[in-house]
Chains A and B, each alone.
Chain A
C-alpha cells in the first residue's frame, strides 16, 4: 500500500544542534549583546510590570488560540504558568533567538512539558519561531509536537513530557556552567503534581548538596493534578519545608504577581539553589476554567473559546 507522504512546512523549525567545539565560548565573560537581554528587563519598574502583564495576557490568548486550533492541549496548566513564562522570557532570560544554541544563553527547561502550548507561545513572542507556526500545533508532521522537541524547535532545551525529568537535567546544566566557569543561569519550571515523582527529589538532593546557586526552580503550585487535587492524591505539603530540608533557599509567593516574580527571578543565589513556590490558579484568567480539575486537558468548544478570549481581553 502506498501512503502519500504528508507535507508540513513547519515540520522542522530548528537549526541543527552543534557540539561545542570548545568550552571557551561558553566560558567567555564578554559583555552580552543587547539583543540577547530580556526585552523588558531594564525598563522602569511601573512600565516594566505593565509590559510584562501585557506579555502574559498575550501569552494566555495565544495559548488558548493554539489549543483551540489544534483541538488538543493542556489549557489549565498553560494558563497557570503564563505569568511565570512571560516574566522569564521578557524580564529575566538572556537568550539569542537568532542563535538559539549560543553557548552563553541562560537555560530554561519546562519540566511540565505538557504545557508546550504556553512554551511555544512564549518562543513565538520572543522571536524563536514564526507566530503562524502555532497554528500547526499537533498537526501531522508539525515540529510543534504535544510535548517539546529541542531538535525541531529552537529555544527548547530539553525534550520533556514524562514527568520528573526537568530538574535532573537542569541540575546537570547548572553543574556544567559551574565547571565551565560560565555565568549563565539555569531555570526550570516544575508542575506541583510532578513532584510526586521521586527523580525530582534525587535531583533536589544533589543540587542542595552541591550548593548550586546558579539554579532556580519554580514550582507552578496550582494544587491540581490531572485527576484531582494534589493534597487529596498524594500530599505535597509542607512543600516549602521539603525543599528547605533538601538544602534550598525557598520563597513562596503569588505566581501571578509579576513584580514579585521579576524580583525573585532576577536575584541571584548566594550559596544554595533557589526555589520559588509560585501559588497559582489553574486556568487563571478564564473564570469558568479557574481551579477546576476538568480543565487540565479539556478542550474548549467554539463558544467557550470566544468567552475565554473575551475575558482575557478585558
Chain B
C-alpha cells in the first residue's frame, strides 16, 4: 500500500490490546490454543482470556525458564501455546530454553515478547528488551516477527496458529498509529515507493520512517519505505531490489545497533549488493526517561531517520 501522507497527530494504539483480543478470538475457534505466562496476566492483557478460558491460561509464576519448558511440553501434548511474558525476561532469562526446548525441538510454540524495546522507559535498561532481536536471530529455525501495528499483530497471530514452527512475536506496548495492511510471513511490505533512498524499519519505527519520508519529500527526495515485519528469515529479494534501485539504505529499529535488523540487512547486502548504509538503533544502556523521550534521545524519530538518509545522499 502507498501511504503518501500521514496525519499530523494520528490516533495511536497499544498492540497488546489487539493481541489479547485476537488471542481470545483464536482460542474460541481452536481448542489447541493455550496461553502460558509468568505472573503477567495484567501486563499481557490476559484478563479477558482467563475469564473466558480459566483452564487454558497456565500461569507458572515468576519462573521464565520453567515457563518456556512447560510450553514445549504442552506442544508435545498437542497444544499450541502462546507464551506471554515481558520480552526482556522471556528472551533473556529463558534464552537457552528458547534455543533448546523450542527451536531445536522445533515445537510449535509462539513466544510473545510483550512490551519490547524501551517500552518500560523509566524502569531502565534492566527492563528494556533491546537485545532480543540480536540474540534470537542467532537461533536457527526460529521465525522472528515484529508487527508494526495492531492490524498486523492480529494478522501475524492468525498466521502463527497454522505455521507449525517455533515463532517469536514481538508485541509492542508503545502506542503506534495504524499502518494498515496484512502480515505476510517472510515478506517485506513496501509502504511507499521511491528511488533515492530506502528506509527499512521494523515495529515502532515503521510509522516514523513514513513520517521521515514526508520530511524528505519536502526536499525533493523520494524515499522508499519498507516494513520489515519478518526479521528472520529475511526477505532477500525485496531488500536486494531496494539496494539496486535506490543505492542506499537506512535501517531503523527499537533495538541495539548490533545484531538486529540493521545487522541482518548489512549481512545480506554486503554479500549480495553492497550499498552505503546507516543503522539506527540503541547504541548503549539508555538513560532515565520515558519511551518517547528515549526514542528522541537516540534519534529514533522522523527527524533522525531523515537526517541519516540525507547524510547518505550527501
Contacts and interface: CB of A to CB of B under 8 A. Distances in A.
B72 to A, nearest CB: 5
Given A165-B69, A176-B73, A20 B100 contact: no
B76 A151 contact: no
B164 A158 contact: no
B72 A169 contact: yes
B71 A150 contact: no
Interface stretch (A1-9, A40-48, A200-208): A200-208
Contacts of B31: 23
B34 interface: yes
A209 to B, nearest CB: 8
Interface in B61-114: 61, 63, 65-66, 68-79, 96-97, 100-101, 104-106, 108
Interface stretch (B41-49, B52-60, B262-270): B52-60
Given A162-B100, A199-B66, A206-B60, A19 B164 contact: yes
Nearest to A17: B106
Contact of A180 (B61, B77, B108): B77
B32 interface: yes
A172 B76 contact: yes
Contact of B74 (A151, A165, A167, A176): A176
Contacts of A26: 77-78
Interface residues of B, number: 32
Contacts of A167: 69
B166 to A, nearest CB: 12
Nearest to A27: B78
A28 B78 CA distance: 13
Contact of B58 (A22, A175, A182): A175
Interface string A15-54: 0010110110010000000000000000000000000000
B240 to A, nearest CB: 26
Nearest to B60: A206
Nearest to A176: B77
A203 B96 CA distance: 16
B131 to A, nearest CB: 20
A17 B164 CA distance: 10
A176 B76 contact: yes
Contacts of B56: 179
A149 B105 CA distance: 7
Most A CB contacts (10 A, CB to CB) among B34, B63, B70, B77 go to: B77
B78 A169 contact: no
B97 A168 contact: yes
Contacts of A177: 77
A27 to B, nearest CB: 9
B105 A151 contact: yes
Contacts of A151: 105-106
Contacts of B79: 23, 176, 179-180
A214 B34 CA distance: 20
A158 B101 contact: yes
Interface string A156-189: 0111111011011111111111011010001000
Interface string A218-241: 000000000000000000000000
A206 B55 CA distance: 15
Contacts of A172: 69-77
B76 A199 contact: no
Contact of B76 (A157, A205, A209): A157
Interface string B128-171: 00000000000000000000000000000000000010000000
A209 B32 CA distance: 23
Given A173-B73, A180-B78, A168 B66 contact: yes
Contacts of A168: 65-66, 68-70, 72-73, 97, 101
A103 interface: yes
A256 interface: no
Contacts of B164: 19
A150 B75 CA distance: 13
Contact of A171 (B32, B66, B106, B108): B66
Contacts of B61: 202, 205-206, 209
A198 interface: yes
Nearest to B72: A169
Contact of A203 (B66, B100, B108): B66
Nearest to A160: B100
Given A171-B73, A175-B58, A176-B76, A158 B66 contact: no
The 10 closest A-B pairs by CB, nearest first: A172-B73, A176-B77, A168-B69, A20-B78, A202-B66, A202-B63, A172-B70, A173-B73, A199-B65, A169-B73
Given A26-B78, A179-B77, A202-B60, 11 more contacts: A19-B78, A23-B31, A158-B73, A165-B96, A168-B72, A169-B70, A172-B76, A173-B77, A202-B65, A203-B69, A203-B70
8 contacts: A19-B78, A23-B32, A168-B73, A169-B70, A171-B73, A172-B69, A176-B78, A203-B70
Interface of A: 17, 19-20, 22-23, 26, 103, 107, 149-151, 157-162, 164-165, 167-177, 179-180, 182, 186, 198-199, 202-203, 205-206, 209
